[in-house]
A and B are shown apart, each in its own frame.
Chain A
Amino acid sequence: MDKRFWLGLKLIPVLDKKIKTITDSFESAERIWLADRNGLSKIDGIAINEVDEIITRRNNIDLERWWQRYKNIGINILTIFDDDYPPLLREITNPPTVLFFKGDLILNYSNAVAIVGSRLASIHGSIIAEELASELSKEGVTVVSGVARGIDGSAHKGAMRGQGGTIGVLGCSLDVIYPPENKKLYGEICKHGSLVSEYPITTKPLKWNFPARNRIISGLTKGVVIVEASEKSGALITADFALEQGREVCAVPGNPKNKLSKGPHKLLKSGAYLVEDAGDILDVLGLIGHSEKKKESSVEISLDEQRVLNFIDWELKHVDEITRELNVSSSDAAILLTILEIKGLIKQDIGKRYLRIH
């Protein structure tokens, strides 16, 4: 019942801005919502000249209708006064008083890790993010990220493969799909975890929402892993929040010539943990006992396939380089590449270049 009044407070911008102050003074949302002119003016944080505006706005809001609208979109409300509010998030200096969420909230909050990075990730970085997320999730760790293009998207995708699940934190409201191609990803995340936002519906992805969102990403987790980020990337803001909030910061190193390595390397130089695989993350965060390294997957490959695989190695190689260096015909190179692709050992990137992934 009370949740409706919380929604009411979020719908009036003057109150939303001060929601922490006004509710900290032990006023219940219901009492604030129902207060008369006199009552309102006595609440800590509400200025006299704001009272009229609050009352006009309040009279224009049909709370029941709004409540139904949220229900119809499948949005639930969680407040800091609820028992199931994520415990780690509660500890940060300015936790969101109200969180909107979609999907299943029963996740392993005390075992969460954030994986974030550049929106313009390389295929290299995307593969690493996906792999780390998938392995963490298989160990029961919940992976948190920002539902953006690049690293974020890969982290969510990987995490869906395990029972740890994933949480996506948005810089807009839950009914706004951004970037637009993420429609499917939104749905999948809700199936394997939840989507979270502190914004009432119809809030656009405004630029200044993102730093605020980043504090939630790090706030939900024990530590943040940065995979590929340029020096100006928002992922570094998330890392800063993590430090402020006393969470661990981990980074995956990269090619020193690549500008997407600048971010992680900067963090590594100032003491972030170097991460090569999911085991490293589990160790740093003191999560579950380091699981044994998985046995090498046993796909059978022919001698020729092995030659191509060895040549491609972990660097992008163009199909013509394979033809020339291994002295095979271009049709033979094509045949071997398709077979290795189907066996899941290599992946194709833009420009007909291949990368070994296993």
Chain B
Amino acid sequence: MLAKIESCSILGMEAFLVEVEVDISNGLPAFNIVGLPDAAIQESRERVRSGISNSEFEFPLKRITVNLAPADLRKEGPSFDLPVAVGILAATKQISRDMLSDYLFVGELSLTGEIRPVNGVLPMALRAKESKKKGFIVPKENASEAALIGGLKIIPASSLSEIVKFFSGEKEIEPITEDIKRLFMNNTVSDNINFCDIKGQEHAKRAIEVAAAGGHNLLMVGPPGSGKTMLARRMPSILPDMTFEEAIETTKIYSIAGMLPSKVALVTSRSFRAPHHTISTAGLVGGGQHPRPGEISLSHNGVLFLDEFPEFTKSALEVLRQPLEDGIVTISRASSTSTFPARFMLVAAMNPCRCGYLGDKIKECVCVPSSIRQYKSKISGPLLDRIDIQVEVPRLTKKELVGVSSGESSETIKERVQRARDRQQKNIGDSNLSCNAQMSPRLLKKYCKLSDSAQNFLENAIDKLGLSGRAYDKVLRISKTIADLGERDLIEVEHLAEAIQYRCSNNSNNYYNF
């Protein structure tokens, strides 16, 4: 007897349809799975056997062959447990076969026949809808994620026996629907970390506000204890809200990585990832035999915070360059090439030198010039070129920590940031950009209009301060964001003058030129 069940698998960011063919014939009892399955799929034989037996069905003592088609694409993971089990039940007439072909099946089985959640259900649901299926049988825990895709009957399954009863009509299962608007409204940043915790640091805070508004990459340089980590952790509290498209994209990545928190259908707040500096290159940009998104993709539309920046391996830092430029990362394998989105905002923090106290008001730096240069050279020029805003964060004295007032709350700052981002969407949205940081040199010319006096001022500044071509682009991009924050269309002298401050000191006598 032959049965066909349809399922799905993930390759890179996309799902593809997989036909699960189950053939049961007479002969010595055997159970084989063919069609480029990985090790986890081979193990699924044991789970399927126990799952069927323990759900009070009969596991046929015959020759069982399962074929996963198309046979040339490698398939992975435990999500074929359910379709294989259903196929066996169908081939042995233990499940009603009438409506099986209307549905797509995914799910992992436990030994007791319970259905467990799997990764990548959101892109699978998209594929199911495209292939005009009526419904999608998914693990209960994945149901709301799948339900984000309207127009598809999402059946939450909790056990194999329940599925059998569903198809025989003995049991109704209410399809799951999600109200996306409601999910979106729920997005309250109830974090108790807030910018008003921070004393002083007016300059750094303003730089962070500008970075958040324009999506600019940011480097903070300062001695230990100056509050760099503290500042960075407060970044998410002022980031503009995600758009619906952004939320779906980010959710897709989390779904594939199996990192959607339970009971969360849609990732509605921007992610903040802070990998430790010992992370491998593959962990950072993605990799593995069956490519998985790395930290840079998990921070897509959000923040990637690299604390102790120079401590990351040189190779890990260098591979950041392409994604920083293109907003995507491509992982090539012998069998396939996968592309993951990786448009993140890089926030990096580092000490100014090995001992950490170069430029500190109180503690003296004990580094020799060559060690300062060597420390600095860990961050390559091309990487620095991609970081628009660089700020030096001073260490507050004990007296200042007590005496100085803390500034605005995250909520107040976020309001300005949101307005500035909305303006950007209106201004540059037609070029498919979402924020100023993404403007290429060519688009800079198109969108950054300077007043006459600003034009003169900029030429003078380049001359007097010796700004390079790269620095010129950065200044334009940042001043556009500052103008947006000030709700102005034309870039004025004041916007340029402020933008010019968001660079590190270039004092050749101290050999510290960023």
- A residues contacting B by CB (< 8 A) are 119-121, 123, 126, 149-150, 153-154, 179, 181, 318-320, 323-324, 329-331, 333-339, 341-342, 344, 347-353
Indicate whether B59 reaches chain A with its CB closer than 8 angstroms: no
Residues B509 and A351 in contact, CB atoms below 8 Å apart: no
Inter-chain contacts of A339 with B (CB < 8 A) = 497
Given A331-B482, A337-B501: A350 in contact with B510 (beta carbons within 8 A): yes
Contact assessment for B359 and A342 in the assembled complex, using a CB-CB cutoff below 8 Å: no
Q: Are A352 and B391 neighbours in the complex by a CB distance under 8 Å?
A: yes
A333 to chain B, nearest CB (A): 7
Contact indicator per residue, chain B 384-415, by CB within 8 Å of chain A (1) or not (0): 00000001101000000000100000000000
Establish whether residues B394 and A320, one from each chain, have CB atoms under 8 Å apart when the complex forms. Answer: yes
Asked if residues B501 and A149 are in contact (CB atoms below 8 Å), the reply is: no
In contact, A334 and B497 (Cβ under 8 angstroms): yes
A-B residue pairs, 5 tightest by C-beta: A351-B359, A350-B359, A334-B501, A330-B202, A126-B509
Is B512 interfacial (CB-CB < 8 Å)? yes
Evaluate whether A123 and B394 lie within 8 angstroms (CB atoms) in the complex, with A330-B202, A334-B206, A350-B358 already known. Answer: no
Selected from B203, B391, B464, the residue in CB contact (under 8 A) with A323 is B203
Assess whether A338 is in contact with B497, with CB atoms less than 8 Å apart.
Answer: yes
Query: Which listed residue, B205, B361, B464, touches A344 by the CB 8 Å rule?
Result: B464
Is the Cβ of A349 less than 8 Å from the Cβ of B497?
A: no
The dominant DSSP class at the A interface is helix
- Which residues of the partner chain A approach B200 to less than 8 Å between Cβ atoms? 320, 324
Q: Give the CA-CA distance A339 to B457 in the complex, in Å.
A: 9
Beyond A320-B394, A330-B202, A331-B498, 6 additional contacts (C-beta under 8 Å) are A149-B509, A154-B509, A333-B202, A334-B501, A352-B504, A353-B359
Across the interface, which residues of B come within 8 angstroms of A335, CB to CB?
494, 497-498, 501
Residue of B nearest to A149 (CB): B369
**Given A319-B501, A338-B497, A350-B512, are A331 and B507 also a contact pair (CB < 8 Å)?**
no
B360 within 8 A of A: yes
Q: Are B497 and A348 in contact (CB under 8 A)?
A: no
Nearest Cβ on chain B to A68's Cβ, whole angstroms: 35
User: B307 to chain A: closest CB distance in Å?
Assistant: 19
When distances are taken between beta carbons in the complex, the residues of chain A under 8 Å from B501 are 319, 334-335, 337-338
A329 to B202, CA, bound (A): 8
Decide: B369 and A319 in contact? CB cutoff 8 A.
Answer: no
A351 in contact with B507 given A320-B394, A334-B498 (CB within 8 Å): no
Cα–Cα, bound, A335→B394 (Å): 19
The answer to whether B511 has its CB under 8 Å from any CB of chain A is: yes
Size category, B interface: 35 or more
Q: What residues on A are CB-neighbors of B505 within 8 Å?
A: 348-352
Chain B residues with CB under 8 Å of A318's CB are: 361, 394
Q: Are A123 and B510 in contact (CB under 8 A)?
A: yes
B511 and A331 within 8 A (CB):
no
Write out the residue numbers on chain B whose beta carbons fall within 8 Å of the beta carbon of A181: 373, 511
Measured CA separation A194–B91 after assembly (Å): 95
B302 CB within 8 Å of chain A: no
Interface centre among A119, A333, A334, A347 (most CB of B within 10 A): A334
Q: Which of A154, A337, A342 contacts B461 (CB 8 A)?
A: A342
- B206 and A330 contacting across the interface, CB-CB below 8 Å: yes
Docked Cα-Cα span, A336 to B457, in Å, equals 13
What are the residues of chain A within 8 A of B508 when measuring CB–CB?
153
Judged by a CB distance under 8 angstroms, whether B460 is at the interface is yes
Bound-state CA distance A107–B501 (Å) is 42
Q: Does residue B83 face the partner (Cβ distance < 8 Å to A)?
A: no
- Of the candidates B206, B352, B507, the one whose C-beta lies within 8 Å of that of A123 is B507
Alpha-carbon gap, A339 to B506, bound state (A)? 16
Residues from chain B with a CB closer than 8 A to the CB of A338 are 461, 496-498, 500-501
Instruction: Flag if B392 contacts A351 (CB, 8 Å).
Output: yes
Does residue B301 face the partner (Cβ distance < 8 Å to A)? no
**Is B67 interfacial (CB 8 A cutoff)?**
no
Q: Cβ of A149 and Cβ of B511 under 8 Å apart?
A: yes
Q: Which residues of B are found within 8 Å of A341, using beta-carbon distances?
A: 464-465, 500
Q: Out of B368, B394, B497, name the residue touching A352 (CB < 8 Å).
A: B394
Chain B residue, CB-CB nearest to A151: B509
B269: interface (CB < 8 Å): no
Q: Does B201 contact A (CB under 8 A)?
A: yes
A204 to chain B, nearest CB (A): 15
CA–CA, A336 and B493, complex, Å: 11
Question: B464 to A119, Cβ gap below 8 A?
Answer: no
Measured in the bound complex, the distance between the Cα atoms of B369 and A119 in whole Å is 9
Closest CB in chain A relative to B364 CB, distance in Å: 8
Q: How many Å lie between the Cα of A153 and that of B205 in the bound state? A: 36
Q: Which residues on B sit within 8 Å (CB–CB) of A179?
A: 369-370
Q: Which residues of B contact A149 (CB under 8 A)?
A: 369, 509, 511
Q: Encode B353-382 as 1/0 by CB contact (under 8 A) with A.
A: 000001111000000111001000000000
For chain B, residues 458 to 514, give those with C-beta under 8 angstroms from any C-beta of chain A.
460-461, 464-465, 482, 494, 496-498, 500-502, 504-512
CB closest chain-A residue, reference B503:
A348
A123 with B509, Cβ < 8 A, contacts A149-B369, A352-B394 known: yes
Question: A52 CB to closest chain B CB, in angstroms?
Answer: 43
Given contacts A335-B497, A338-B497, contact A319 B203 (CB under 8 A): yes
Q: Do A330 and B404 have beta carbons less than 8 Å apart?
A: no
- 30 pairs, A vs B, C-beta closer than 8 Å: A120-B369, A121-B509, A126-B509, A149-B509, A179-B369, A181-B511, A318-B361, A319-B202, A320-B200, A323-B203, A324-B200, A324-B404, A330-B206, A334-B497, A334-B500, A335-B501, A337-B501, A339-B497, A342-B460, A348-B505, A349-B359, A349-B505, A351-B222, A351-B352, A351-B358, A351-B359, A351-B360, A351-B505, A352-B392, A352-B394
Contact with A along B174-214 (1 / 0, CB 8 A): 00000000000000000000000000111101100000000
Complex Cα spacing A297 to B494, Å? 25
A351, B394: Cβ atoms under 8 Å?
A: yes
Which of B101-127 touch A at CB < 8 Å?
none
Instruction: Point out the residues of chain A lying under 8 angstroms from B464, CB to CB.
Output: 341-342, 344
Tell me, in angstroms, the Cα distance from A342 to B465 when the chains sit together.
Answer: 7
Q: Is B201 within 8 A of A320, CB to CB?
A: yes
Chain A residues, CB < 8 A from B507: 123, 126, 347-350
Bound state CA distance, A180 and B123, in angstroms? 55
Cα-based distance from A259 to B222 in the complex (angstroms): 23
User: Which residue from chain B places its CB closest to the CB of A348 in the assembled complex?
Assistant: B505
Minimum distance in angstroms from A156 CB to a CB of chain B: 12
Q: How far is the CB of B88 from chain A (nearest CB, A)?
A: 68
B357 to chain A, nearest CB (A): 10
Decide if A333 touches B203 in the complex (CB within 8 Å).
yes
Q: What CA separation (Å) do A150 and B34 show in the bound complex?
A: 72
